[in-house]
Structure 1
């Protein structure tokens, strides 16, 4: 662009122009493997062309202009095992039969070159580590064709007797094997198992060894791969011979039986041979065996044993009732043991008897054959004429009454002797006593009471009758007490002072009468002094239509007052007096009389101790007291009037 000078206008002489400058690419950037280095894997024994992995390179040059970014791949290292596609960069197997057990890992160098691989192009490289994975292409292999072990005959069941191992060049699951015995173990004495840690076969015993019966075994053992491979068509196996030599051990003697059972009678004499045990030494069948009793099982030393022939004898007498069984342990000389059980046989040396003191009950109003009670015991004989005994199948007895004349007032308890006899040889017997109580029973036969005191009253009375009888007895006692009280007051004066004038006046009305004015119907003061004149007192509760003159009461002289006569007079007057109240009136007179030729009934006021004289007083005064009781019914005559 041209510009004018300074003196001029300083304006451009020409308009501005645009220029496009294009930079032409040159091959100045080599290819690069950004994701490298690479790792790949392929199973061993893979076929040619099997893909392993793929690599990728980039070029910063312009892929449009020229061949600066056109890449071509090649293998610099790793031939002839692997190959690579020039354009796709896929690595493939180039050699068949590659064995992992021979070589497991390969390092492959890959080159990427631009300019289409022509001269002058730039290049870049990367490495690919290719690993061959394992397949089960190798069988297990025993380290040697035969093994030999020596096993003692006393080796315990399940204990290991030897180890064998089959090696496998494979790894992982392809190297695992199982072991088995396929021959030489007809008695099924051995087994072989796999050790999961070491992959060894462990030979163990399933049954005890017996040197005397078999001294050696020749076993055929097989090791087999667990996993089959789809390429090789496994599994593989290998076998070996295992020879086992049985070593003789010092074994203890063995008893002919593990348990012996002998019987002996409890009355057997000392040194009686109970039985014999026998044991043999398996190491030396004809050697001598010695026998002993383990005294921990025979603390009381009741048995002995012959150390040479094993015969067991009785050291002390036995009692079956104390111990029925004895279990002892017999030991052979080389610590071999057998259990001996000795059963003590019973003999008839105990008489039968009742287990407890039985008591039976008999209703005094019962029928024959009704004794309540069931006694358990051995067979028994009939004890007496008043009862009979029945034997049941369960070895129990039932006692039955033969008559019905049992009464508690006559005899309350019967002691019935019963002879009990067993069926042993010789038979044994004992006499036992059965207590039979006579009791009162209900109509249904249930026992109510066995006390004889409760049945003094007549049998068959009802409860009401018993109460009435009891009331009569109480009333009789009251009369006796009253009589004694009256006798004590026979010497007191008839005139009672005002402060001692204490009487009881009981009035009973059958209708609503005149109230307390009825108490004035009679003048009780007359009783205080029978010698006084019976004056007439008008009644305040009624007004009689007719006026009657008072009657003179009959009385005895001052010293001859008779209570019986006095009461009869008063009773006669009350029955014939029309002015007497028509009410039931009960009056109790606290007066005994002036005296009696009978004297006092109290034992405290009489010097006589003659009981017959007291009974005469009762006979004399008894009717008078009965007459005195009629005074309670005076009102009934008044009503009739």
Structure 2
């Protein structure tokens, strides 16, 4: 196998000499494991070649084409590969890959201590193929021979990627000869290396005759991929930047073998080289000048080319366009469109726009470098003008803020400077200014006072008619006061008069510094001046009112509470007030009259208060204490304070603590029941005064023909109508309803009187109770009693066609009416008596005899006064209570 390899090398040398300066693409050289300095590796053809270079500094090529180890020390050959470039006469270059392969010999120590050399086991060097080789195919690579072939009849097999694995069928191995063959081109960028496994077997026994041999087939790179740009080519740089300023970096990639010249990229600017530079090795773009001007050109497009092979003639290349955007700086001041301006404005006008000043600026619009800022540099010492910037048009807006006076200045010269919000940068230019001449036009004006405001000092209480000053005006055009009249337009307290012709100010009424119209000692009036043409001017008169001592200190008028303490004398604080100002007021002096009773003493607490001390024990009550209070000037008088001595709780007298105050609604709520009661009394008195005469009944003895005596309560017999004779009139048969309704019947709706003149005489009770609705009175209070007497049927039948007692019809008997009235009157008189008893007892039942009425009534006794003493009596009247008794009293008294 070694002989075959050497033969191939010799063949390469021979082939290399066929074509002048035509080096092979790859070269495998068998070398020792360690290469000593000056060791000759191989030789290449130097005909028609102008020079050689290597990628490995450990090796060099001599002038006669000999490849030698040039390192000063030994180098290791294991896995070492480097390139040799041959320079052609025409300037082109060729590349040759040199692969160094060393011998592998198995050596071992024996037990006798000497070395024994064994035959080299099959171990061929890595095989190399050229990527994308054009063929023809199939193409033999190398023969693989095992040492076991000398003693065995063998055959070979191989497996792995490129054989029976993806990508399959790229390689094959001849079973008998061991020739390794490639069948198609291979792309190194996709498959840089193939690792296959070769095995050798005995043809007879099919047993391995040697260990499996791993083989690497390396794919040598060819420059078949052009470099590519990575990332966007967008860069920005500030205008007017200095030369050499870094703008950006171009980044490129290459898919060819890393570390080889195939990926050595060179960067070139095809356009824009007058303004920009690019580093050929790094791709960094820099400014070539300091004249980049955004206002001339804000965007530059430059063409960048990238080449591999370091830019050699046979290199591959790509081009792209890079965009370089210039950012703005304030290198252009705003410029005026005119050299000067003239404008006119009427006098006395304020807050008026009088001029628009346009400017131009080349800087980037709507940035601080472009937005204008105007300044009035001269002529505005009095502050009559203001200049702003229109945010939409960037113009200067000149305003008159304070009215101008034609008589004082007819022409004003201004100087206005136009600037930017940002300071100037990258330029020697300065801010520009222009003159603006403002002409003030004359206007016929009203009178003008000598000053907008005038101040006079006046003492309060100054006598009326006193002259306090003169306030006059003049005509601005004539500078004269002739013909000007003066009037007041404001004088809240009417204290001042103004002379219409002279403008003299005099006191008209007493000036009081303590008046509500005086604020902090100042009182203002407004005066108007009117000229002959009815034009007016207004001025303000400020009157400073000086204080005089016309107010004495005042003591409080409300009661001062002194809380009573057992075994101790109390005190109260008396605070005085003086409307005057210092030094005409506080500090105050407190004193008691010389003839005081000795019960109190007073001492000064502070400038405005004194302490009133109790000197003797005094009973609770209100005491009037006379005191003398004077101000700092000794002006004062005797005054009285009320001191309330009382027992306190939380500093408040107990009597006051328990007191309550009622508002208007509370008082109204208390008066409303009284008003209603008074109305009720008047109503009852009216009915009492208009009552009818009552029949006086004598209750002595038996009732005779009115009621029959009866001691039974069984159902009675039919009553003979002749026994019941009405005392006044006889009702017509069938007309009992109307007759009864006109009497004292429970259903009577007319007004009645019960016991009009109440006395207690011979067992007769004459009450004093009146009512306007007898039906309500009887039905509400006596239904149960009358039900017991008359069978409980009167309530629903008396108002019908007749009255039915014990199921017996006697409604047509008119004599029944007198019987009913008699009993009703008796009971009513007894009711009136209830209000005459002072000890609030109620009248006892009086026993009466009744005539026999036949069988007893199922309804029970006729009334409470039967001999049997039925429980159905008038005791329920006891529950009516004091209110009913009061009502009876009222009716009785009336």
Normalised by the length of structure 2, the TM-score is 0.33
Which of the two has greater strand per residue? Answer: 2
Q: Greater RCO between the two (CA within 8 Å, min separation 6)?
A: 1
Normalised by the length of structure 1, the TM-score is 0.43
